[in-house]
Amino acid sequence: MSFFGQITEALTLCSQPPVRPVRTAADPPMEPKEALGLLKDGNRRFVDGRPLANRTNAVVRKELVELGQAPHTAIIGCADSRAPLETIFDTMPGDIFVLRNAGNTCTHAEGSMIGSLEFCTGKLGSRLVLVLGHTKCGAVYGATKTFLDAQGVPNKKAGSALQGLLQDLGAVAQQAQQEMGPDADADAIAAHAVRVNVFHTINFLLQFSESIREGVSSGQIQIHGGIYHLETGSVEFLGESPQQSELLQSSLPVPPSMVGSSEADRGTHGVRTGADVAIKSEQALKLLMEGNQRFAAGAPTAVTTSKDMRRALVKCGQAPHSAIVGCADSRVPVDTVFDSMPGDLFVLRNAGNTCTHAEGSIVGSLEFCTGKLGTQLVLVLGHTQCGAVAGATQTYLSGATSKAPGSALEGLLQGLAGVAQKASEDLGPKAEEAAVVAHAVKVNVFNSVNFLLKFSEPLRELVRKGDLDIQGGIYHLETGKVEFLGRSPQHAELLSSKRSVPPSITTGAVRTSKSGPVLPSDALAMLRDGNERFAVGAPVAGKVYQSMREALATVGQAPHTAVVGCADSRVPLETVFDALPGDLFVLRNAGNTCTHAEGSLLGSLEFCTGALNTRLIFVLGHTNCGAIKGATSAFLQSKKQGGAKDLQGKLEGLRRGVRL
């Protein structure tokens, strides 16, 4: 080289900035805030055209090798050649841990992405994660076009990995379209989808990585989003996900594609069979939650059963970890909603997920499942926009419950009307019908849960022993997510129920003189039970057969209660207490009083308690009693006028009951 050339090279070297120090494992971890500041400063230098990180030397490279890396930030970026991350942020080797693919997504690289980030934030000590999208992203724009073109067209199976990627990014495009509104054009939707996709990836990281969630919860790690604008070179920093707090409640430990079979979930044969041990209710609930999270995230793992799996299900029998009482609505396929395999769930379904018109079938089936099959969790699952509950609400609000049902459907809706009434009362008279329906869905879930606890001693006994839990949930059609409601607020109270079978399958034996005497407390309980059946529209009396009538005629009566009631036609006592012939010894007169029937009434009661051995006398008045109203009016009028002796004598008995 000439002397002039040597001088030129020396001057050039002197004019260049010195080589910047590099981060190595010898450096302490960097706070997320400081790391974010470095990224912002680096991008500002890049935009201004004055980068500093453009030289390395042998010393720098040797330090990185011998001391190891300690990047201050992990970045998930797009593979687009126009978005080189180290250049955009003007970083030195050792500064950032870079992960890139088309669309900066976890959709088809979930295990690789999350595993890499867990290594970086755990082993290498990085405390900031940045998910970086960019404008005019080919993957996102392609996914948006694919989604928009496919609207109204049956889904086609992906013919290549690229088609699969674009189809799976369709959820991002769909959300962007919904947020932009019906008038937005394709370019506007795609541009917004870039932003949606950034948070979609962040949410995926939070949802499917236990270690990352723990780091974020403790403040050790922060996950931010950003968009690189190709047009200006600047990065728009978006901050943390709006759903971060919610997603930190996730319980999924690994990405869906990495879920493996184990005895705890898939069973020893790849599916749960009778060869597997029973799963505790807590673990079963966790399996339901995780399965629904996979379904809602669009990442199910349930696979097609093999011949060996089907053979095992036949040979070994079933051992479902959960029993589900769900609605028959075609939009709520229970097995799919929980991403379950054959053998996982024992599913019972009817319109309205109710016991109202299927009580014996539902309760008996659950007693079989929990008793014979060993299932330790029952979930009653309602869903939003339930047609049966909506119909029942309309039936109640229109007053149609007073008419005799003209079909089984009308009977079902009338049976559910009590749910609508409770929901309406909870919300108050000003509530709109849509709000009543939405609340009635929840009321109905607990109504069914309560029914199971109230009318099944086998289920109650398992719950008392800790071998069964009964909970409720609501499937949200809009999101695909199940809202788990837990136990009924009346759980503890209902465990003390003494009822052993549902009302509709109560045996219809009549009482005769061969029946033993009934204790007053038991007789009172029978009255309460009968009245409750009458009040909810589920009476069982009236099924009197020839053999019953013959027994009553030949053997004689032994009523468990003597009832003194009013003669008012609106108060048929046997009906009010849902009683069979032979149950009640009934005495009635206007005002249910002894005033003008004392000898007859007392003599009758002495006969009933003495000769028939009845041990409970129940005196029943009723609201809006005409006799009492008349006596009250006459008494007040006579008091106002000074009192007429003849009227006073006639009403002397009745008015004692209303004198203050």
* Highest mean pLDDT, choosing among 156-160, 504-508, 603-607: 603-607
Q: Bigger pLDDT: 74 or 167?
A: 74
SS3 label, residue 485: strand
CB 536 within 8 A of CB 356: no
Token readout for 163 is 């088609």
Task: Band the pLDDT of 645: cuts 50, 70, 90.
Answer: low
Instruction: Tell me if domain 32-380 and domain 503-627 are identical in fold.
Output: yes
Cβ pair 74, 117 in contact under 8 A: yes
469-475 vs 96-101, strand pairing mode: unpaired
pLDDT of residue 239: 97
Using only C-alpha atoms, the chain has a radius of gyration, in whole angstroms, of 37
542 has a pLDDT exceeding 80: no
State the residue for tokens 């009964």.
470
* pLDDT the model gives residue 498: 82
CA 432 to each of CA 278, 413, 435, 475, 476: distance values in angstroms, whole numbers, following the listed order: 45, 19, 5, 22, 20
Residue 6 has pLDDT above 80, yes or no: no
Tokens of 597: 């029937």
pLDDT at 537 over 80: no
Q: For residue range 21-45, what is the model confidence (pLDDT) as tens digits? A: 889 889 999 999 999 999 999 999 9
- Decide which of 312 and 657 is more confident: 312
Structure tokens at 128: 């900031």
Q: What is the mean pLDDT of residues 421-440?
A: 92
**Is-contact 586 573, C-beta < 8 A?**
yes
Q: What per-residue confidence (pLDDT) applies to 80? A: 95
pLDDT of residue 627: 79
Residues in the chain: 660
Instruction: For the domain covering 32-380, report its CATH number.
Output: 3.40.1050.10
- CB neighbours of 488 closer than 8 A, spacing ≥ 6? 446, 449, 450, 453, 470, 472, 494
The three-state secondary structure class of 224 is: strand
Lowest mean pLDDT among 4-8, 129-133, 540-544, 619-623: 4-8
Which 8-state DSSP code applies to residue 323? Answer: E
For residue 660, pLDDT beyond 50 = no
What's the pLDDT at 165?
A: 79
Strand partners, 326: 349, 381
Tell me which CATH homologous superfamily contains domain 503-627: Carbonic anhydrase (3.40.1050.10)
User: Token pair for residue 38?
Assistant: 């470095």
In angstroms, rounded to a whole number, what is the distance separating the alpha carbons of residues 319 and 271? 10
Residue 15: which pLDDT band, with cuts at 50, 70 and 90? very low
The domain spans of the chain are 32-380, 503-627
Strand order through the sheet with 482-486: 345-350, 322-327, 377-383, 469-475, 482-486
Select the more confidently predicted residue: 408 or 112.
112
Chain mean pLDDT for the chain: 85
Helices (H), 234-386: 244-247, 281-296, 307-316, 334-337, 359-371
Q: What percent of the chain has pLDDT over 90?
A: 47
pTM listed for this prediction: 0.59
